[in-house]
Structure 1
Amino acid sequence: MKMKEYFNDLINHAIDIKASDIYIFPAGDNFNIKMHTNVRILEHSVIDSSFSKTLLNYCKYISNMAISENRRPQIGSFVYKLDSQKYYLRFSSVSNFSNKESMVIRIIYSIEDSDLSYADYNNLISLKKRFYKGGMILFAGPTGSGKTTSAYKLAKSISPKKIIMTIEDPVEIIEDEFLQLQVNDSANMGYDELIKVGLRHRPDIFIIGEIRDTRTANAAIRAALSGHLVISTIHANNKNGVINRLKQLNVDSSDINHAINTVVYQKLVNDKDGNMTAYMDINEE
């Protein structure tokens, strides 16, 4: 089988099972290929070192990475087409202690491709009403629980009437109706800088990928206090921990009280049929 055909089969299968990531990792003398879905990590196949090197070189070639470089970390991207639908692939490579190279391929879907279901759709209706209030809506919850998907779904439901800008690191969902910016640290365009640039475009809604540090937290709060609706995610173990996390990031308590609109803790749970569904615990401030 030609490498292009193998690669296409690999990506097609990942898309078919809605995998978010494909892992190509060294394991002894061979390489394991695994796929990450919202539910679990699935074993796909085991390939030998010679075949894996050809596969990695092909991935580097199509994503404009340096084929001869296998020591330093690299990133690349590629637009993959399947049945007239575009999927954006992000490649990341790095070598381990014994100079064996590994790669992760992230598949970025459009919001229409999301099959995330909700335990109680009344929560979505309630949140949509909160969108018109302004301020900041924060999502917390485990990795892979669909926080960004929920933010996009809600924003898209009112997008014909609003200008929506996203700032992410990296972009996780493709949405043509939004103006999507991506953090580029090498060009000194972090969250803080992009929020400042974004304010000049006067969007109605900011979607900020994740609040990770003090600068991003304070920039997001300032945007919310200036009259914009800001939607973001933050690491916290429950909805009550969100405010504490902002305080840990040195955000002024008064600014928090004036800026926060709603806090949502979202996680995936099994429904009565055993399927994964999103459960929201909402705290309206």
Structure 2
Amino acid sequence: MAIEAKLNDIIQAAVSQRASDIYWLPTAEGYQILIQTTGSLRALAQMTTERAQQLMNHIKYRSNMAISDHRRPQLGAMTLILEKQTLNLRISAVGDFLDRESLVVRLLYEGESQALQYLIPRQRQQLSQLMHRTGLILFSGPMGAGKTSTMYDLVRQLRGQRLVMTIEDPVEIYEPQFLQLQVNSPAQMAYADLLKVGLRHHPDVFIIGEIRDAETAKIAVQAALSGHLVLSTIHARGVYGIMPRLAQLGVAPAVLEQALTAMSYQRLVPVTDGSVATIFDTVVMPHKIPQTTQMMTERWAQLIDEQLAAGRLDHATANQLKEA
């Protein structure tokens, strides 16, 4: 019970700061526990190697992972209820060259998108209006920026009106009114495989967790061109980095121009009142893309200055956002 109580204390501390991940990382003296929140790492605790290993073994046991294997990569999952809040945990463990194990716990909050706060409410209204169109809408931003939460929040307004299918790795938010599919590569259920099957169900709306390869990009674009509303995420450093990224994945510019409805870059930022909120740099097509290396629109800097002047952002956060 002492180990489980300690684990609950660590997770509760992370949840209170709305962390997305908890890290158990080896050091020269023992282990450090870090949390990822609002785009930065914060130290949570230090402990002995023995104590850390006990906690990691407990997590692995509850996640159906091999406790005796401390070096090979392992993945697992578990569900935890803390103070009536259900948390879905995704576990990743691997050992370093000295056979010291590291472990990461991804925290998935049920109903997270319902609590999503928009720094500029009119940005939510703009994105919401796009849900009544067809085509491809892409979201980029750093890990933990809330991209999946944003997509769910926006599409929930269509519940009961349209058939919504999600394809994710893993399913992060449970929504009983959506048809939710989960990637399972060993069972030949990759993103592209599930997309092909999903199209036969004729959904009105697709949420694709991530476009990460050429085949998924191609099928997502085809679905958008055939009259579906497709929302997905893609890795890019800014809103103007999305189209070049798709070009790298083999999507022809002329085809993308027809399929793309909007693209958005988002960040989760600390607000001066102590909360966290999402801010977006959104481009709705058609839009003239600048022939430069800039990643963000000119409007991005203006929005940050407006929020700084209104006292909602501090100078450090504003400067960090402008350097995106």
What TM-score range do you get, normalising by the shorter chain? over 0.9
Aligned to 1:237: 237
Q: More relative contact order in 1 or in 2 (CA 8 Å, sep 6+)?
A: 1
Q: Distance in 1 between matches of 2:269 and 2:15?
A: 23
Aligned to 2:261: 261
Q: Distance in 2 between matches of 1:80 and 1:183?
A: 22
Q: Distance in 2 between matches of 1:270 and 1:79?
A: 28
Aligned to 1:143: 143
TM-score, reference length from structure 1: 0.92
Contact 1:111 1:152 in 2 (8 A): no
Alpha-carbon distance, 1:84 to partner: 3.4
Alpha-carbon distance, 1:114 to partner: 5.8
Aligned length: 285
TM-score, reference length from structure 2: 0.82
Alpha-carbon distance, 1:270 to partner: 5.5
Alpha-carbon distance, 1:41 to partner: 1.8
Q: Does 1:38 align with 2:52?
A: no
Aligned to 2:125: 125
Aligned to 2:223: 223
Q: Specify the code of the residue in structure 2 equivalent to 1:280.
A: F
Contact 1:151 1:207 in 2 (8 A): yes
Q: Specify the code of the residue in structure 2 equivalent to 1:52.
A: A
Query: Does 226-235 or 31-40 show the bigger shift?
Result: 31-40
Structure whose residues are more often strand by fraction: 1
Q: Distance in 2 between matches of 1:71 and 1:238?
A: 36
Q: Secondary structure of the residue that 2:209 maps to in structure 1?
A: strand
Counterparts of residues 1-285 of structure 1 (less than 5 Å): 2-112=2-112, 115-269=115-269, 271=271, 276-285=276-285
Query: Does 205-214 or 75-84 show the bigger shift?
Result: 75-84
Contact 1:39 1:276 in 2 (8 A): no
Contact 1:87 1:107 in 2 (8 A): yes
Q: Distance in 2 between matches of 1:125 and 1:177?
A: 23
Percent identity (aligned) = 43
Query: Does 70-79 or 13-22 show the bigger shift?
Result: 13-22
Q: Specify the code of the residue in structure 1 equivalent to 2:17.
A: I
Q: Specify the code of the residue in structure 1 equivalent to 2:51.
A: F
Query: Does 110-119 or 58-67 show the bigger shift?
Result: 110-119
Contact 1:108 1:174 in 2 (8 A): no
Contact 1:111 1:153 in 2 (8 A): no
Q: Specify the code of the residue in structure 1 equivalent to 2:199.
A: L
Q: Distance in 2 between matches of 1:209 and 1:31?
A: 33
Q: Secondary structure of the residue that 2:210 maps to in structure 1?
A: strand
Q: Distance in 1 between matches of 2:138 and 2:57?
A: 40
Q: Note the aligned Cα RMSD (angstroms).
A: 1.9
Q: Specify the code of the residue in structure 2 equivalent to 1:47.
A: M
Q: Distance in 1 between matches of 2:67 and 2:275?
A: 42
Aligned in 2, Cα 1:85/1:279: closer, same or farther, shift over 3 Å?
closer
Aligned in 2, Cα 1:247/1:113: closer, same or farther, shift over 3 Å?
closer
Aligned in 2, Cα 1:269/1:74: closer, same or farther, shift over 3 Å?
closer
